[in-house]
Chain A
Amino acid sequence: MVCSLGIEGSANKIGVGIIRDGEVLANVRRTYITPPGEGFLPNATAKHHREVILALVQESLKEAKIKPSDLDVICYTKGPGMAPPLLVGAIVARTLSLLWEKPLLGVNHCIGHIEMGRHITGAQNPIILYVSGGNTQVIAYSNKKYRIFGETIDIAVGNCLDRFARILKLPNDPSPGYNIEQMAKEGTNYINLPYVVKGMDVSFSGILSHIEALADPTKNPNKRKKTLEADASVAKPADLCFSLQETIFAMLVEITERAMAHCGSNEVLIVGGVGCNERLQKMMGIMCEERGGKLFAIDERYCIDNGLMIAHAGAEMFKSGSRMPFEESFVTQRYRTDEVLVTWRDD
């Protein structure tokens, strides 16, 4: 029996989760929300996390109705992510580990998402589409590693959505992506946008520049794009949101389908913050149905960054014998999914 506490704080969410033998005992989270039109900066985000993290740890222990002595391992997000917020989680995890005399484990954020998704949905060996504000990857498991089949070559899909929401001054509460999704429901006219799939990889920065110019032609210093202004006068924000979602999600569905064909897999699992977008889930569902496959998707409690996924992935690592010397409990901004040896899977 392994009882594990996980702390996640790689971006603007800070979360603490507790899991015991696969049973969810607690999963609490706070989000640092900036005013409309503004993104979150590393140091301000870390300050927010410092202010709430201890209350969250307390809250999770109460919700789980356990004492610190009931825990077997303490887990934290080692990376990838922004260094200052990551460090907040790491310092608290280290201190608790020494205070309570429990082993400490650093967990890869992406692996946390994958394992949480597999655990909640029961998917055995799916193609994984990991889409969030910082990452966009199509992943398949093979030979003790989660291999990256395709990924973004510039910004993440969630970053593209967040930044477009900023242009439209949509609120960041509960999340910019959610507000784009709601606005897109009112869109009816599809506006042509660049469609950028390069082999198994995707690119979003060009699409973002293009749609930014459509949304606000006055801010565009690029004289070559002047021809766009004619379209821009008729482009409604709702239509732009709708067209942006349709275009970028179609790109994601395309590379996911190709990964399924490569691997002969008929399961797809969507994880990461953008994964709770119902339009993306619907488009992916249609593709899976046409191929006779099955789609696994999860709701925002487990999709959006949370402490529970770190606790769960850490527990799996701990059970399979992974240990980490205390001196190695640093954080790292770059930490690829395929760097982690998957010791807890035997297939």
Chain B
Amino acid sequence: MPPVAVKPCESTLRLPFETPRLAEIAYRVLSVDKEPRRNFVQKTLNLERDVLVVHFCADQVKNLRTAISSFFEALLLCQDTIKQFGDPTSAEPEAPQQDNAGAQSGSDSA
């Protein structure tokens, strides 16, 4: 069996958003959760206008990958929420359409 390489490693993700506001929302939502203490990964988030910059430092490649993949799960959920519920100002014009569809399915379930 080849020896498993355990070496410190790091990675930086640069994630652009449509607007600085959306980048800030993602930054604040994703900054809350700390990395689990036992996976030996340090994650730092920074905001550069409309770009979210995430830096990972890990003790080994395996842990780095785990941390990045769980970060992406959270990021995708946050992005999908933004996509579906938008910001209130841009969501208002679409509201009447959605209300119609809602009334239909509402009466179905009633």
Tell me the smallest distance from the CB of A123 to a CB of chain B, in Å. Answer: 30
Q: Is the CB of B80 within 8 A of A68?
A: no
Q: Which residues of B contact A330 (CB under 8 A)?
A: 32-34
Q: Is the CB of A87 within 8 A of B85?
A: no
Q: CB within 8 Å of A: which of B49-85?
A: 73-74, 76-78, 80-82, 84-85
Q: Is the CB of A91 within 8 A of B102?
A: no
Output the nearest chain B residue to A101 by Cβ-Cβ distance: B88
Q: CB within 8 Å of A: which of B12-55?
A: 25, 28-34
Output the nearest chain A residue to B91 by Cβ-Cβ distance: A68
Question: Is residue A58 contacting chain B, with contact meaning CB distance below 8 A?
Answer: yes
Question: Is residue B87 contacting chain A, with contact meaning CB distance below 8 A?
Answer: yes
> Which of A62, A91, A327 has the largest number of chain B CB atoms within 10 A?
A91
Q: Is the CB of B29 within 8 A of A57?
A: no
Q: Is the CB of A57 within 8 A of B77?
A: no
Question: Is residue A200 contacting chain B, with contact meaning CB distance below 8 A?
Answer: no
Output the nearest chain B residue to A50 by Cβ-Cβ distance: B77
Question: Is residue B106 contacting chain A, with contact meaning CB distance below 8 A?
Answer: yes
Q: Is the CB of B78 within 8 A of A95?
A: yes
Q: Which residues of B contact A92 (CB under 8 A)?
A: 77, 81
Tell me the smallest distance from the CB of B8 to a CB of chain A, in Å. Answer: 26
Tell me the smallest distance from the CB of B90 to a CB of chain A, in Å. Answer: 10
Q: Is the CB of B74 within 8 A of A91?
A: yes
Q: Is the CB of A99 within 8 A of B32?
A: no
Output the nearest chain A residue to B80 by Cβ-Cβ distance: A54
Tell me the smallest distance from the CB of A18 to a CB of chain B, in Å. Answer: 13
Question: Is residue B95 contacting chain A, with contact meaning CB distance below 8 A?
Answer: yes
Number of A-B contacts (CB under 8 A): 76
Bound Cα distance A54, B98 (Å): 15
Q: Is the CB of A91 within 8 A of B77?
A: yes
Q: Is the CB of B77 within 8 A of A100?
A: no
Given contacts A94-B28, A329-B32, contact A68 B77 (CB under 8 A): no
* Binary CB contact string for chain A from 299 to 311 against chain B (1 if under 8 A, 0 otherwise): 0000000000000
Bound Cα distance A98, B32 (Å): 13
Q: Is the CB of A68 within 8 A of B29?
A: no
Given contacts A329-B32, A330-B32, contact A98 B88 (CB under 8 A): no
Q: Is the CB of B81 within 8 A of A99?
A: yes
Tell me the smallest distance from the CB of B26 to a CB of chain A, in Å. Answer: 8
Question: Is residue A67 contacting chain B, with contact meaning CB distance below 8 A?
Answer: yes
Question: Is residue B105 contacting chain A, with contact meaning CB distance below 8 A?
Answer: yes
Q: Which residues of A contact B33 (CB under 8 A)?
A: 87, 330-331
Question: Is residue A96 contacting chain B, with contact meaning CB distance below 8 A?
Answer: yes
Given contacts A92-B81, A96-B81, A99-B81, contact A69 B88 (CB under 8 A): yes
Bound Cα distance A201, B106 (Å): 46
Task: Show the binding face of A for B, using Cβ within 8 Å.
Answer: 46, 50, 53-54, 57-59, 61-63, 65, 67-69, 87-88, 90-92, 94-96, 98-101, 326-331
Apart from A94-B28, A327-B31, 9 more pairs, CB < 8 Å: A50-B73, A54-B80, A62-B102, A91-B74, A94-B29, A96-B85, A98-B25, A98-B28, A330-B32
